[in-house]
Amino acid sequence: MTNDKRACIAFICGMKVNPYRNKQMVFDYSKGEYFHFLVMHRSISGIHVFDYQRNGHVKGAFDMLFDYVANYHVTIEWNKSKFQGFDYESQCYFTGKVDNQNIEMFDYENASYFLYQML
């Protein structure tokens, strides 16, 4: 998964677990970068965000998102604040957890951990 897309998925995961927080970005500690988003719509079951870095939309149910930039789905299974998913663009799995405003992800494509903070 690309850095930009991973940050977007991390943001969406953070928004699912923290539905009452009004956040607009994540900070990627591994890259030292901020990633900005606009939440167009959010409900208990899904979300619609505009990803400024990738100049496109990601929306759908929290367990089945569609990335309109890449034109591929991303599926996510949830167990409270822990998640595991599959990115159909990269054909790779990822796992992670949300702890308050921090999101930790392991991307199997890169075999690396990534840490994000919602701001």
Q: How far apart are CA 100 and CA 53, in angstroms?
A: 24
The model carries a pTM of: 0.96
Res 98: pLDDT = 98
pLDDT of residue 91: 98
pLDDT tens-digit readout, 18-66: 987 789 999 999 999 999 999 999 999 999 999 999 999 999 999 999 9
- Domains of the chain from N-terminus onward: 3-118 (3.30.700)
d(CA 119, CA 116): 10
Residues 36, 30 contacting (CB under 8 angstroms): no
Q: What is the pLDDT of residue 32?
A: 97
Report the chain's mean pLDDT, rounded to a whole number.
97
pLDDT category at 113 given cuts 50, 70, 90 is very high
Q: What's the confidence (pLDDT) of residue 35?
A: 98
**Which amino acid is present at 53?**
Q
Q: Across the chain, where does the E strand assignment appear?
A: 25-28, 33-42, 46-51, 56-61, 64-67, 72-79, 82-87, 92-99, 102-107, 112-118
Gyration radius of the chain's alpha carbons: 12
* pLDDT reading at 101 higher than 90: yes
